[in-house]
Copies of this chain bind each other. A is one copy, B any other.
């Protein structure tokens, strides 16, 4: 893929990360994530307005922050492509991964509460996000109640997700945590049209461990054990789920 940020000999300082969305003819209407993202269920006009609102699209390379803790909050970010992690920092420097995000997810919801980002989101691979200036989004959601409803749902679902992570961290054993994690990824890849049983992890063992409240060695050992037991096949970051029923059993999900 050509470096889209450096067409026409335009100096690349700004262009390498900031691209006018209209120039690229990208619209919510035709975005493959529209069913998972904010526009879900909106009528034509509302979706069009939302399109207009997306002031720009930004790209980040692996390791770059989409936003950082302490920054003034101005916009939400909808992932179009790629994935990232959100981390909370303790005062003493300890870092906790609070979530992994993929296309269709909305980032930065924690910034609304105090007009300042409370955590940071870091790209795990090259990523592209739509920038949704929050003031305008509130205004627009004010004119289109279904959009308001969607925004409320997104916020509430993040709370539900967080509660489930608490359940995981507070009362599950290591093997259960990892099983839940793998099944959750599987489910989300499936929702996005990818294989539910074969995928490539975008994060290190240490990052998985941080999310699950475990050390990287424990994660590594569990992967090995799951493989030995025939539950999964691991090769570095490439994962194949071989026995999802058994994984669900382990995860305490009798479904």
Contact = CB atoms under 8 A, between A and B. Distances in A.
Given A165-B166, A167-B88, A159 B160 contact: no
A17 interface: no
A138 B142 contact: no
Query: Dominant SS at the A interface?
Result: helix
Given A112-B153, A113-B153, A167 B210 contact: no
Given A118-B160, A166-B96, A171 B110 contact: no
Interface in A105-134: 109-114, 118-119
A138 to B, nearest CB: 7
B169 A112 contact: no
Number of copies: 2
A252 B155 contact: no
A190 interface: no
A171 B111 contact: no
Contacts of A113: 153, 156-157, 159-160
A90 interface: yes
A14 B39 CA distance: 42
A84 to B, nearest CB: 15
Interface residues of A toward B: which range? Answer: 35 or more
Interface stretch (A144-152, A216-224, A239-247): A144-152
A98 interface: yes
A138 B152 CA distance: 9
B160 A114 contact: yes
Contact of A98 (B138, B151, B156, B166): B166
A158 interface: yes
Interface in A203-242: 210-213
B94 A171 contact: yes
Nearest to A180: B90
Contact of A94 (B88, B165, B252): B252
24 contacts: A90-B172, A90-B252, A91-B254, A94-B167, A96-B166, A98-B167, A110-B160, A111-B156, A112-B155, A113-B156, A113-B160, A119-B163, A138-B145, A142-B142, A142-B148, A151-B152, A152-B155, A159-B159, A159-B162, A162-B162, A162-B165, A162-B166, A166-B169, A169-B170
Interface of A: 88, 90-92, 94-98, 109-114, 118-119, 138, 141-142, 145, 148-149, 151-153, 155-160, 162-167, 169-172, 210-213, 252-255
